[in-house]
């Protein structure tokens, strides 16, 4: 009988819950989340997707309970990556791969800063979409696809991760160079997330509103110009057409950045639009629209913080 893999999941938000539910079908899953209510609910009732019966997973009280994981999936916000992984430094098996399907840029650097440059990092992107109904419960209406990159980790490791996800009923495949796909996701996030947060609207409203659509398209075009300057071949011809396709998948949900503003959690703006601005400066590509989004979101964060004080 084949031994069930021990899978650790850091971050039990909507995506952590969705992947945890699927992985629990064939693996022993342990989740670690900083939110006490989320941990309590999952420990009591398991994790569930749509109307399917929930599946039991273990809930860790601290990082120590994930030290023996065969794989660690990261589903925390990019701004939390370093903090979430620091307790694992010197404790995790150095051969344990860290799988990041997170938004934004800079996650690989943060992982290696926390765990050392030799740690096997598997980067990927996913079009899976889910909305949290309650702690440990999500709604997912569209089956997406997950791409796993093999350039920054051994090809065999990337294939193992993709095969593991496929056996759980998810769609997954391996690509050698994940960078074009990471930039594709960054372009979509840069075009939509901050606007959805500032307008306090669902993603699907943005293409329907001419002024918002114009801003979103300008944000996407800037990010695509930066990618071109970095000599990254994007997996699409029209940035805006790609953005609208991505929006259709999660049209009835607000961006995670909108929930960050509502909750007071630090947003990923520096890792999304801020990353476009930073790479733009490095390559000499002007990014005034993305710079404006960074300033507006930070101004909104400061305003809301004053109101909560």
Q: Report the pLDDT value the prediction gives residue 41, as an integer from 0 to 100.
A: 96
50-101 pLDDT per residue, tens: 999 999 999 999 999 999 999 999 999 999 999 999 999 999 998 999 999 9
Is residue 131 scored above 80 in pLDDT? yes
pTM, rounded to two decimals? 0.93
Domain end position, chosen among 141, 175, 209: 175
Are residues 156 and 48 located together in one domain of the fold? yes
| Residues above pLDDT 90, as percent of the chain | 83
Is residue 249 scored above 80 in pLDDT? no
Burial status of residue 272 (CB atoms within 10 A of its CB: 0-12, 13-18, 19 or more): buried
What's the order of all strands across the beta sheet hosting 137-139?
A: 48-49, 137-139, 131-134
- For 193-203, what is the mean pLDDT? 94
* Mean pLDDT of all residues belonging to the chain: 93
Q: Which of 50, 40, 34, 102 is nearest to 73 (CA)?
A: 102
| Residues above pLDDT 70, as percent of the chain | 97
Are residues 278 and 301 located together in one domain of the fold? yes
Question: Considering the domain boundaries, does residue 1 fall inside one?
Answer: no
Choice between 29 and 151, residue whose per-residue pLDDT is larger: 29
- For 93-118, what is the mean pLDDT? 94
Q: Which domain holds residue 124?
A: 6-175
The CATH code of the domain that includes 151 is 3.40.50.720
Q: Report the pLDDT value the prediction gives residue 82, as an integer from 0 to 100.
A: 96
279-300 pLDDT per residue, tens: 999 999 999 999 999 999 999 9
Q: Report the pLDDT value the prediction gives residue 2, as an integer from 0 to 100.
A: 61
Q: Report the pLDDT value the prediction gives residue 1, as an integer from 0 to 100.
A: 46
Are residues 11 and 111 located together in one domain of the fold? yes
Q: Report the pLDDT value the prediction gives residue 152, as an integer from 0 to 100.
A: 61
Are residues 171 and 185 located together in one domain of the fold? no
CB atoms within 10 A of CB 130: 24
Are residues 72 and 191 located together in one domain of the fold? no
28-52 pLDDT per residue, tens: 999 999 999 999 999 999 999 999 9
Are residues 210 and 111 located together in one domain of the fold? no
Count up the domains in the chain and report the number. Answer: 2
Are residues 167 and 219 located together in one domain of the fold? no
The CATH code of the domain that includes 218 is 1.10.1040.10
Are residues 161 and 190 located together in one domain of the fold? no
**6, 112, 185, 208: which one is catalytic?**
185
Residues near 182 by Cβ (< 8 Å), separated by ≥ 6?
105, 123, 125, 149
Note if 300 is an active site residue: no
């Amino acid at each position: 009988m084949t031994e069930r893999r021990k899978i650790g999941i850091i971050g039990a938000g909507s995506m952590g819950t969705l992947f945890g539910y699927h992985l629990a079908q064939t693996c022993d899953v342990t989740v670690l989340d900083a939110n006490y209510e989320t941990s309590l609910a999952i420990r009591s009732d398991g994790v569930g997707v749509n109307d399917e019966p929930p599946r039991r997973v273990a809930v860790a009280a601290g990082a120590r309970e994930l030290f023996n994981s065969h794989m660690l999936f990261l589903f925390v916000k990019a701004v939390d990556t370093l903090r979430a992984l620091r307790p694992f430094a010197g404790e995790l098996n150095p051969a344990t791969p860290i799988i990041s399907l997170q938004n934004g840029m800079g996650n690989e650097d943060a992982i290696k800063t926390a765990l050392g440059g030799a740690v096997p990092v598997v980067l990927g992107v996913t079009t899976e979409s889910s909305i949290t109904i309650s702690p440990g419960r999500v709604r997912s209406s569209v089956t997406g696809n997950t791409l796993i990159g093999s350039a920054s980790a051994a090809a065999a490791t990337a294939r193992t991760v993709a095969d593991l996800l496929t056996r759980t009923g998810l769609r997954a495949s391996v690509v050698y160079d994940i960078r074009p796909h990471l930039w594709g996701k960054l372009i979509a996030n840069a075009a939509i997330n901050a606007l959805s947060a500032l307008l306090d609207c669902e993603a699907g409203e943005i293409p329907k509103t001419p002024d918002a659509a114009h801003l979103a398209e300008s944000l996407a075009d800037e990010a695509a110009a930066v990618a071109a300057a970095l000599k990254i071949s994007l997996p699409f011809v029209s940035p805006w057409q790609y953005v609208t396709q991505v929006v259709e998948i999660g049209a009835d949900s607000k961006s995670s950045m909108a929930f960050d503003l509502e909750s007071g959690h630090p947003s990923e703006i520096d890792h999304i639009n801020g990353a476009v601005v930073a790479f733009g400066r490095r390559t000499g590509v002007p990014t005034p629209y993305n710079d404006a989004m960074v300033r507006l979101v930070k101004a909104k964060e400061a305003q809301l913080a004053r109101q909560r004080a």
